[in-house]
Amino acid sequence: MDYFVELLFSGLTRGAIYALIALGYTMVYGIIGLINFAHGEIYMIGAFTSFVVATVLSIYGFPLLAIVVLAGVCAAIWSSAYGYTIEKLAYKPLRHAPRLSPLISAIGMSIFLQNYVLLAQTSDFLPFPELIPDFAFMEPYAHIVGSSDLVILVTTAVLMVALTILIKFTRIGKAMRATAQDRTMAMLVGINVDRIISVTFIIGSGLAAVGGLLVASHIGQINFYIGFLAGIKAFTAAVLGGIGSIPGAVIGSLILGLTESFATGYISSDYEDVFAFSLLVLILIFKPSGILGKAETKKV
Amino acid sequence: MAPGPLQIGKKMLELKNIQTSYGNIQALKNVSLHINIGEIITLIGGNGAGKSSTLMTVSGIIPSQAGKVLFKGQEIQNLKADQIVAMGICQVPEGRHIFPDLSVRENLDMGAFLRRDRAGIKTDLEYVYSLFPILAQRRSQSGGTLSGGEQQMLALSRALMARPELLLLDEPSMGLAPLIIRQIFEIIKKINQEQNATIFLVEQNAHQALHIADRGYVIENGMITLTDTAQNLLNNDEVQKAYLGI
């Protein structure tokens, strides 16, 4: 039973991380219909930024809590700046081009960012400082769920609630939904659509950066390539849940995380990715629009 | 603001030699027209004549290649769509374009997106609810679930929430039952009088449109071919043959 609960928590933790990244995919897709393949790299840059900030701050002897918070904030800001810039440089000029062009541009951006970090940081794995200590109150449960799992789950839950409030109730959130549903009409009611697109990239990038920090501290090492697999997995989760749907991305991520965790735990860790992608294939065959996605219908 | 004696007869909107194209297809070859403050004017023409393109050019959704758009004497052809809305020009596009997953109330809120005067927004909300009580009943229903007629009422109301000086209406009668069409046109007339909104109405339903309009323009192949008072156009032989089915 303990083993089952352990796998459950490890699955939820994975799912939470996927969700932080998947939201960026799904929100950008919802607004401009683009799969932002450079999004995984944003997550990787978030991890590197928090690495640099955390290392510097620990040299100056900051307390651990301050280091975690500052590293998270800096990573979110820096990654958001990347997300914003990528959109302006690589996607905005192609807004009226055929759909394939921005997609290729996104893949190009992804390759560029990977190689840029590779040149700057080499391909070696860097040891990431352990930012989340083992809490004393978690001691009795330590064999089931680690302290960093708990931090990941709580942080993700808080960010999800904040995002939901933003999207549902604020002026900018309503404008984001309106833009996603009908861009021309959004312009006709006076929404500055370019600004909404930028905000979407900024929010998505910030969430991915926090994910980068949490995973890096959980696993303990980073290199330039970590964004690729994480990005593909999160993209899978977003498609699973129905790309374009925000709750869908969260549900898809949790399902994907749990599937991987149980498959690894009960069958073999060699098949982790096989299960993840088999799930994707099955969903695409039986419900191509994903769990919460809408079938694309064009009304005339 | 009621049009004072000094404003009557002054131009609200003027298009001068507007040319617009989609890719290689020239939608507007040379369109010049004007709307005086407080008027209802209608632009009639067949499918693909350039009616919607004219409105989309005014709203800044499609850029014009040449020519000028003047709003109260100020050039606006290079402004972005949201800046044009901020100046007081609002469009109800063809096909209504309700935000399907936003509630009726949220759709109305989006209409007032650029406004900050809460009290004024509340007054206008009550006004549109009084025009269309059905919208008040359905306020928390999502826009996509409304019937065609209700959607047109919502689209019109959403535009009114911006309290526009100039209202651009693209085929408000399209796909609606005759009874509802009559109701919509009565409301348009009412909006013109009660809200002092100048109205630029694009219609295929030329008969109804000319009945409420002061003046009219006929557009064919991206060019204005005829203009006169609405009454004269109703009696014009060519217009009767081509657009009124008489």
Please give the average per-residue pLDDT across A267-289, as a whole number.
86
Q: What pLDDT does A296 receive?
A: 61
CATH class, domain B11-244, is alpha beta
Number of C-beta neighbours around residue B219 at 10 A: 23
Domain that holds residue A21: 2-286
Q: What pLDDT does B59 receive?
A: 96
Please give the average per-residue pLDDT across B100-123, as a whole number.
95
pLDDT tier at A295 (50, 70, 90 boundaries)? low
* pLDDT tens per residue, range A220-241: 999 999 999 899 999 999 999 9
One DSSP character per residue, chain A reads -HHHHHHHHHHHHHHHHHHHHHHHHHHHHHHH----TTHHHHHHHHHHHHHHHHHHHHHTT--HHHHHHHHHHHHHHHHHHHHHHHIIIIIGGGTTS-THHHHHHHHHHHHHHHHHHHHHH-SSPEEPP--SPPPGGGGGGTTTS-HHHHHHHHHHHHHHHHHHHHHHHSHHHHHHHHHHH-HHHHHHTT--HHHHHHHHHHHHHHHHHHHHHHHHHHH-EE-TTHHHHHHHHHHHHHHHH-TT-HHHHHHHHHHHHHHHHHHHHHT-GGGHHHHHHHHHHHHHHH-TT-SSPPP-----
Q: What pLDDT does B61 receive?
A: 94
Residue A192 maps to a domain: yes
pLDDT tier at A298 (50, 70, 90 boundaries)? very low
Please give the average per-residue pLDDT across B58-76, as a whole number.
94
Please give the average per-residue pLDDT across A59-68, as a whole number.
91
Contacts of B111 in chain A (CB under 8 A): 189
Please give the average per-residue pLDDT across B148-172, as a whole number.
95
Contacts of A175 in chain B (CB under 8 A): 110, 113
Of A175, A178, A188, Cβ closest to residue B93 = A188
How do the domains of chain B map onto residue ranges?
11-244
Minimum CA–CA partner of B101 in chain A = A181
Q: Is A243 exposed, middle or buried (0-12, 13-18, 19+ CB in 10 A)?
A: buried
Q: Assess whether pLDDT exceeds 70 at residue B164.
A: yes
Please give the average per-residue pLDDT across B28-32, as a whole number.
94
Residue A300 maps to a domain: no
A51: tokens are 């690495």
Residue A297 maps to a domain: no
Q: Assess whether pLDDT exceeds 80 at residue B3.
A: no
Q: Assess whether pLDDT exceeds 90 at residue B90.
A: yes
Report the distance separating Cα B210 and Cα B140, nearest Å. Answer: 36
Q: What pLDDT does B10 receive?
A: 86
Q: How many domains, in total, are found in chain A?
A: 1
Of B80, B86, B93, Cβ closest to residue A185 = B93
Interface contact A221, partner B, CB < 8 A: no
Report the distance separating Cα A224 and Cα A211, nearest Å. Answer: 15
Mean pLDDT (chain A, rounded): 91
Q: Assess whether pLDDT exceeds 80 at residue A294.
A: no
Residues A278, A280, A282, A285, CA torsion sign: negative
- pLDDT over 90 for what percent of chain A? 72
Q: What pLDDT does B22 receive?
A: 84
Please give the average per-residue pLDDT across A137-145, as a whole number.
81
pLDDT tier at B23 (50, 70, 90 boundaries)? confident
Residue A292 maps to a domain: no
Please give the average per-residue pLDDT across A147-158, as a whole number.
93
Residue A291 maps to a domain: no
CATH of residue A43's domain is 1.10.3470
pLDDT tier at A96 (50, 70, 90 boundaries)? confident
Mean pLDDT (chain B, rounded): 92
Residues A163, A169, A174, A177, CA torsion sign: positive
Q: What pLDDT does B1 receive?
A: 45
Best B58, B108, B113, B163 member to test A by mutation, with max A CBs in 10 Å, is B113
pLDDT tier at A143 (50, 70, 90 boundaries)? confident
Number of C-beta neighbours around residue A131 at 10 A: 22
Interface contact A95, partner B, CB < 8 A: no
CB contact under 8 A, B81 and A177: no
Q: CB-based contacts of A22: which residues, under 8 Å, 6+ apart?
A: A234, A235, A237, A238, A241, A249, A250, A252, A253
Of B60, B80, B99, Cβ closest to residue A178 = B99
Q: Is A182 exposed, middle or buried (0-12, 13-18, 19+ CB in 10 A)?
A: buried
Please give the average per-residue pLDDT across B50-73, as a whole number.
94
